[in-house]
A and B are shown apart, each in its own frame.
Chain A
C-alpha cells in the first residue's frame, strides 16, 4: 500500500481548487479519484511528481470545469425549469388580468352602461395583475437573473 502524504494530498486538492472545483461535495469525490490514480502509479514504482503529472492527464482544467459545471447543472436543472415556468406563467397571468381590466372597462362602461360594476371588476383585475407582477414575476425574474450572473462569474 502506497500511502500518500498529507502534503501531497493537500497539493492535489489545491490543484483542483485552483482549476475551479469549488463545490466541496464533488471535490472530495474527485480528490479521492485522483489520489487512487496516483497511488496506482506509485505502486508501479513512479515518484509522486511523475505519478501526479500522469494522473493529471485525466484531470485537465477543462475536465475539472466540466465536472463542476455538469454537476451543478444536474443539481439545479429541475429548480431552474420550475423558475422559468413560474416567470412565464406569472407574466402571462399579469398581462391577461390587465387585458381583462380594460375589457371590463369597455364592456360595462360603454356597452352595458354600468360603469360602477366596470370599475369594480376592472379595479379587481388591475389589483390582482399588479400583485402577481410585483410579488411573483419580478422576484422570480430578478432571482433567475442573479443566479445566471453568479454562475457566469463562477465559470
Chain B
C-alpha cells in the first residue's frame, strides 16, 4: 500500500481514468476497480473519493443518475459531454507526468 502523500495528488486523474473506461460507475465500484487494477496497492479512502466526485459534478465534469438499488439510492457517475475535453487533457497531463517521473527515476547519464 502506497503512502497517503504519494496517492493524494493522483486520486482525481485515477477516478477520471476509471470513469473514462466505463459508461458510468458508483463510488464503491470505483474503489474496488482501483484496488483490483493496482493489485491492492492503491486504496482510495471514502473521505477522499466523495468530496472529489461532488466537486467534479459541481464543475460540470461529471453527471449523475440516481437509481434505487436494494432499498437505497445509488448514484452512478459518468463523464459529461462538457467534461470530456477536460478529462482528456487531465489524463494526458497525468500520463506525461508519470513519464517525466520515469526520466527522473531512471536518468540516462551521458
Contacts and interface: CB of A to CB of B under 8 A. Distances in A.
A66 interface: yes
B6 interface: no
B27 A33 contact: yes
B50 A67 contact: yes
A51 interface: no
Given A66-B47, A67-B47, A70-B47, A75 B72 contact: no
Interface of B: 26-28, 31, 45-48, 50-55, 58, 66, 69-75
B54 A37 contact: no
A64 B69 CA distance: 22
A73 B75 CA distance: 21
A74 B55 contact: yes
Nearest to B66: A28
B75 A29 contact: yes
Contacts of B72: 9, 28, 31-32, 35
Given A29-B53, A32-B74, A70-B51, A63 B46 contact: yes
A75 B58 contact: yes
Given A29-B75, A67-B46, A75-B54, 7 more contacts: A30-B50, A36-B28, A66-B47, A67-B51, A74-B51, A75-B55, A75-B58
Q: Which secondary structure dominates where chain A touches chain B?
A: helix
In the complex, the 8 A-B pairs of residues with the closest C-beta atoms, listed nearest first: A74-B55, A70-B51, A36-B28, A66-B47, A71-B51, A28-B73, A32-B74, A33-B28
Interface in A20-35: 25-26, 28-33, 35
A71 B70 contact: no
Given A26-B54, A71-B51, A3 B75 contact: no
Given A28-B75, A32-B27, A63 B69 contact: no
Contacts of B45: 58, 63
Interface in A43-98: 58-59, 63, 66-67, 70-71, 73-75
Contacts of A32: 26-28, 69, 72-75
